Amino acid sequence: MHTQTFTVLIERDEDGIYVAKVPDIPGCYTQGKTVEEAMERVKEAIQVCLEAEKEAYSPLQFVGVQQLEMPIPA
């Protein structure tokens, strides 16, 4: 068995729930009440997504995360 590294993006929604997304696998995401819970659940989500998605996926190369602040017209 070999290992694979996945980038996991974690965001907190308006209700305080942590949402974990795996950009390498379209539609692969989950949530948890804590970051730790979201990370445990995303491991399960990755397994399910890989089993369901028999076609190959193209891993992305992680570059970084940035936030952009800009004015939005009212």
Question: Each residue of 11-50: pLDDT tens digit?
Answer: 999 999 999 999 989 899 999 999 999 999 999 999 999 8
At residue 55 the predicted structure's pLDDT band, cuts being 50, 70 and 90, is low
Q: What is the pTM of this model?
A: 0.77
Q: Which domain holds residue 31?
A: 9-52
- Cα–Cα distance between 12 and 15 in angstroms, integer? 8
Q: Give the pLDDT score at 28.
A: 94
Residue 25 sits in a domain of what CATH number?
3.30.160.250
The answer to whether residue 34 is domain-embedded is yes
- CA 64/CA 74 separation, integer angstroms: 30
Domain total of the chain: 1
**pLDDT range class, residue 56, cuts 50, 70, 90:** low
